[in-house]
Structure 1
Amino acid sequence: MAIGINTSVPAGKQWVYGGSIFRFTNSSFGKTFIGERKPLFLGFNLAIFDDFSDDYQIQINIPGWFVSCNIGIYQYEGDTRTVAEQDLAAIKAVVAPNS
């Protein structure tokens, strides 16, 4: 998931921190957190969640000192295998095409 966070930074200030993100799902016990909270920084962030689930929500917490904030969220929906896993699958397809 890619997250872009922008805010107007006052003159003379150097802000880097843009907040945090975490995933959760609703259960009979209330919010059930999936994975761990990840920090976000101003600009472009890439948040990789190892335990993939189709049914989740995200919560983004931004610092209280932000006067305004623009957030863009993009979810990757392609192949989730690593490059090594993709290469191994290609090799297997050539060596043993019917297995």
Structure 2
Amino acid sequence: MCLGIPGQITAITDAARQMGLADVSGVKREVSLACVADRPLEDLVGEWVLIHVGFAMAVIDADEAARTLEALRALGEAQEALDQMAEGDRALAGGQA
């Protein structure tokens, strides 16, 4: 199942490509900010976004992010998605995570 999961933008990694680093419950992931780049990219640092398949799809507020994460955890969906993200990160790092 595909789902969107809240993450907080922590840094801009490549402004030319509109890429940023998101923290999704402790898992760091590079995501495209192209869909939410309606302001200077630096202004997105600290914002919560809804992430789907590597794209920040919408800016959401912190309360909505917390409620969504809690609901996903209760359903067990968030952990599955986080495990898959962490596994992908380990594979990209050559198994050193």
TM above 0.5, yes or no, is no
TM range (shorter): under 0.3
Richer in strand (by share): 1
TM-score for the superposition, normalised by structure 2: 0.21
Q: In proportion to residue count, which structure has more helix?
A: 2
RCO higher in structure (CA 8 A, sep ≥6): 1
Tell which structure's C-alpha radius of gyration is larger.
1
